[in-house]
Amino acid sequence: MMDRDILKVLFSEEEIRARVEELGSELYERFCEKTPLFLGVLKGSFVFMADLVRACQIKSDLEFIAVSSYENATVSSGRVQITRDLQQDITGRDLIVVEDILDSGNTLAFLKDYFMTKGAASVTIVTLLDKPSRRTKAIQPDLTGFVVPDEFVVGYGLDYAQKYRNVPYIGVLKPEVYSN
Ligand code: 5GP
Ligand code: MG
Ligand code: MG
């Protein structure tokens, strides 16, 4: 079981489900008169994205972009690379950018600029988790699921070395997992 690598659970499946419903309702209020483009940042956002688009019953479409900056470490290298670009024109679109976690802010600061350069009409940032204590870029989410302390978390899409994305809750790994 993957569970035995988890030191503690920060947010249970039930807590996540309830919070995602609230975020879906908030997005509905903001966007029901529009046709926004949900834009997920791969890979970490894929579970959240799947639940969020179903919690927000508005006419919308969906896109993904993939970036990498971590290269199996737990600390950002600071350099953001697009590894899978947008597959459609976003000119004039209202974007709902869906992220797993906002940490240093490098990724979203880079992406927000990129999307504005590509002609987006608006960029709304929805992050499941926010770790404000580690921010080095002046960027804030528009909507946040939960604020987390300065600990490396996994589950609900978030990985450590590509593992634990399928853990259904959000938790902290045991220290010995990193040294193996
Ligand atoms: P930033 O560019 O804001 O430093 O980091 C953004 C990305 O780093 C996130 O989208 C996520 O993929 C990864 N990241 C940052 N903190 C954590 C964490 O605590 N756990 C995991 N699994 N990934 C993290
Ligand atoms: Mg991410
Ligand atoms: Mg990762």
What is the value of ipTM here, to two decimals?
0.96
CA-proximal residue: ligand 1, atom 16 (nearest): 103
Give the other-Cβ count within 10 Å of 78's Cβ.
11
Number of helices followed by number of strands (H, E) in the chain: 4, 9
Could you give the CA distance from residue 26 to residue 12 in angstroms, rounded to a whole number?
21
Please tell me whether residue 136 adopts helix, strand or coil conformation: coil
Could you give the CA distance from residue 15 to residue 179 in angstroms, rounded to a whole number?
30
Residues with CB under 5 A from ligand 3 (ion): 159
Ligand 1 pocket at CB < 6 A: 44, 69-70, 76, 99-107, 152-154, 158-160
Confidence (pTM): 0.94
Give the pLDDT of residue 17: 98
User: How many CA within 13 A on the CB side of residue 31?
Assistant: 24
Question: What six digits make up the tokens of 179?
Answer: 């040294």
Give the pLDDT of residue 79: 79
Give the pLDDT of residue 136: 93
The number of the ligand nearest the C-alpha atom of 65 reads 2
Q: Dump pLDDT digits (tens) for 127-158.
A: 999 999 999 999 999 999 999 999 999 999 99
Tell me how far the alpha carbon of residue 34 lies from the centroid of ligand 3, in angstroms: 32
Question: What six digits make up the tokens of 85?
Answer: 């670009």
Tell me how far the alpha carbon of residue 168 lies from the centroid of ligand 2, in angstroms: 17
Q: Which of 61, 89, 100, 103 is catalytic?
A: 103
Give the pLDDT of residue 178: 86
Spell out, as residue ranges, where the chain has pLDDT lower than 50: none
Residue 103 annotated in active site: yes
The answer as to CATH 3.40.50.2020 being correct for domain 2-27+37-69+79-175 is: yes
Tell me how far the alpha carbon of residue 29 lies from the centroid of ligand 3, in angstroms: 31
